[in-house]
Amino acid sequence: MTPHPLLEAITQGTPAVRRRAMAKAITLLESTRPDHRAQADALLTELLLHTGKALRLGVSGVPGVGKSTFIEALGIYLIGQGLKVAVLAIDPSSSVTGGSILGDKTRMEQLCAQENAYIRPSPSGGTLGGVAEKTREAMLVCEAAGYDVVIVETVGVGQSETAVHGMTDMFCVLQLPNAGDDLQAIKKGVMELADLVVINKADIDPHAATRAQAQITSSLRLLGFHGNPEHDPHNAAQWRPRVIQASALQHQGMEDFWAVVCEFRQMQTANGRLAARREKQALAWMWERIDHGLKQAFRAHPQVRALLPQMQADVAAGRIAASTAARNLLAAQAG
């Protein structure tokens, strides 16, 4: 079988050739054309042999918490340590027009200029969970290209956008000082899944940052007793979430952040949880693509397409229940 033409450029090309090939590969992966999907699947299969060595880091937080500034400061620090950094920045798509600004790369001017950095903004495209539909595939392209750290920056999220936790090795949540009370900190969602919480913009109000750090530390301990089994406080071999302070604008706290990340990676590798997490994520990815494929096949089925307009009209007019219409359409596909 002839290797995909982009394979050699991604894995062995010069930095400029490699970045160009990565951009083409991710565009191919994001395409919805059936012929492009077949090419993308073939390319992914060939790239898998070159993946698995990078650290996958998810960074999430509310709008305005400073995710892009933090990632730029972290990326510059890591490049200074001799590492190569790839950033997949997810930008929200308009629910009205469907468009996306893709402005996160503009915020990372200094990081963009680094030869050992690659930044790819992608629209969320209506995908829920704070990430894009093809974020997992794009991560594999970055890993195959030899990047040591792949950072996924989610859109500005609330309390339930946790999809990035299901595709990264470590899930980091950025918080603001004075962002809420103790009750806010223990609400379910991103906080109970966080492996590391960073109080960003700590330089603005140091006292509020210290207070927030204490509140969230206490809340995470409570969630460990009654929440995520991966954060069991009684098991010394398991990771216990940390809370640290940082100021991305002042480039403060990056060394402490990376030291915690390295400690997390070492512990999770030693206890086997990192490998188990990746296996679980790969299976979840497979089922996600199955669900997506079944939905596409359902919509393309000729009998469903013939019956759909009448069912939609009946539901809109109140002549038939939505559940009944759905059952009729499913029966049409099965028949």
State how far the Cα of 142 lies from the Cα of 49, in Å rounded to an integer: 13
Mean pLDDT of the residues in the chain: 87
The pLDDT tens digits for 4-52 are 889 999 999 888 899 999 999 999 998 888 889 899 999 999 999 999 9
Model-level pTM? 0.87
In this predicted structure, what is the pLDDT of residue 245? 96
> Could you give phi then psi for residue 87, rounded to 5 degrees?
-120, 125
Average of pLDDT values for 196-218?
92
Cβ atoms of residues 161 and 50 within 8 Å: no
The pLDDT tens digits for 141-174 are 999 999 999 999 987 665 445 678 888 999 999 9
In this predicted structure, what is the pLDDT of residue 98? 67
Average of pLDDT values for 260-286?
94
pLDDT for 210 beyond 90: yes
The pLDDT tens digits for 55-73 are 999 998 888 889 999 999 9
**Burial of 38 by CB count in 10 Å (0-12 exposed, 13-18 middle, 19+ buried)?**
exposed
pLDDT for 254 beyond 90: yes
> Could you give phi then psi for residue 55, rounded to 5 degrees?
-90, 125
